[in-house]
Amino acid sequence: MDNYRSFTERHLIPYFGELPITAITVDRIEDFIEAKRAPGGSIRFKGKALSDASLRTGLLALGLILHRAVRMKLIAGNPMREVEWRGLPRRDEQSVDPFTTAELRAMLSAASSIGPDVATMLRLWAQSGMRAGEVLGLQRHDLDLDKGSALVRRTWSRHRLGPTKTGLVRTVSVLHPVAEDTPEWRPGTTTEARSVLNGLRGLKVQSLDPEAFVFGRGSAPLSSMELHRKWRRVLAAGRVRYRSPEQLRHTFASTMLSRNAPLLYVQQQGGWRSAGVLLRVYARWMPQDLAPSVTPVAPEVRRVVEATGNLER
């Protein structure tokens, strides 16, 4: 909502606000897109073009506004339906750039030299497939160190707690061996993967309050600014090409699928809305004989899922 509101106030109203609704035509919308993708299209960064990801979000808002106008019988049809903007690939498709196993190991080694708590956070993140806000929103009573699992039920974003992106609660394993040179994907199958449990038990800052944040200072989770500062230090120290922290989630998905982990299992672990999302974004990492179809869930896999949470069908 914040993104929609900001885009409407900063881009849509200045460009379209003086026009009657009937003057917002297909050609005018395409002129708007061209202007925003040109240098100077960004408001935040002077002289820069507006990013395609931001433009895609904003055009969704414009489409909703025009749809409302159709329902109010102010215009006969929604011109957004005729707009050609295929040059804007979905953000999740264009930005997937996962880390290799060697890069992950270099990052974890570098993080250990910076601070063991940082290494623990990154290992948990990579081995669970959680979103950044879900990692920051973890509280101590969400962890089950005996089972090696975490209950994901909130996210920390824009300095406040909220529900997960899908609004669903899920239980995930934090023990997947994604940073090891192994064909195995099942949780807890390597000593290195299980080392995250010792790291969680040995965190320097630990509160007796069960609602204290795992990564933070008691009642306050680690801020996004501090997270990115530590992230840059880790990549620089490990001499790993810079990518955003969210690539750890992409790394989890691509690694798990490349090792023949069942599609529905990966979906449940990462909290993706549907298996179709995984197929669209990550199919190129699946073995070629499995990519066109949904991998069946074997009985032993179902037992793993049932131990860590409900399988979304």
Amino acid sitting at position 134: E
Domain membership of residue 96 (yes or no) is: no
Domain membership of residue 313 (yes or no) is: no
Element (H, E) at 151: strand 149-152
User: Bridge-partner residues for 9, per DSSP?
Assistant: none
Coil/strand/helix, residue 311:
coil
pLDDT at 293: 45
Determine what percent of the chain is predicted with pLDDT higher than 70. Answer: 88
149-152 vs 143-144, strand pairing mode: antiparallel
pLDDT in tens, 82-100: 887 655 555 455 578 999 9
pLDDT in tens, 15-40: 999 999 999 999 899 999 989 999 99
- Dihedral of the CA atoms 264, 268, 272, 278 (nearest 10)? -30
Identify whether residues 108 and 18 lie together within a single domain.
no
pLDDT at 264 over 60: yes
Range in 113-117, 190-194, 292-296 with the lowest mean pLDDT: 292-296
pLDDT at 90: 52
pTM (whole model) above 0.75: no
Mean pLDDT of the chain: 87
Cα 153 to the center of its chain, rounded Å: 15
* Residue 121 contacts residue 265 (beta carbons within 8 Å): no
> Which residues neighbour 34 within 8 Å (Cβ) at sequence distance 6 or greater?
none
Identify whether residues 53 and 151 lie together within a single domain.
no
> Which residues neighbour 198 within 8 Å (Cβ) at sequence distance 6 or greater?
none
DSSP letter (8 states) at residue 176: -
pLDDT at 307 over 60: no
* CA–CA separation, 96 and 178 (whole Å): 16
Identify whether residues 140 and 282 lie together within a single domain.
yes
Identify whether residues 30 and 165 lie together within a single domain.
no
Domains: count for the chain? 2
The CATH number assigned to the domain holding 294 equals: 1.10.443.10
Identify whether residues 51 and 112 lie together within a single domain.
no
Confidence at 294, pLDDT banded by 50, 70, 90: very low
Residue that is last in its domain, among 88, 110, 125: 88
* CA–CA separation, 106 and 238 (whole Å): 5
Mean pLDDT of 207-223: 83
pLDDT at 44: 85
Identify whether residues 52 and 76 lie together within a single domain.
yes
Identify whether residues 30 and 111 lie together within a single domain.
no
Domain membership of residue 135 (yes or no) is: yes
* CA–CA separation, 106 and 177 (whole Å): 15
Identify whether residues 36 and 106 lie together within a single domain.
no
Identify whether residues 23 and 128 lie together within a single domain.
no
3-state helix, strand, coil in the chain (%, to 5): 50, 5, 40
Domain span including residue 53 = 2-88
pLDDT at 260: 94
Residue that is last in its domain, among 67, 88, 109: 88
pLDDT at 81: 85
pLDDT at 290 over 70: no
Mean pLDDT of 59-77: 93
Residue that is last in its domain, among 36, 65, 88: 88
Identify whether residues 119 and 12 lie together within a single domain.
no
Domain membership of residue 302 (yes or no) is: yes
Domain membership of residue 43 (yes or no) is: yes
* CA–CA separation, 174 and 196 (whole Å): 8
Structure tokens at 33: 């897109």
User: Bridge-partner residues for 143, per DSSP?
Assistant: 150
149-152 vs 170-173, strand pairing mode: antiparallel
Quick count: other Cβ atoms within 10 Å of Cβ 252? 24
Identify whether residues 165 and 266 lie together within a single domain.
yes
Identify whether residues 46 and 112 lie together within a single domain.
no
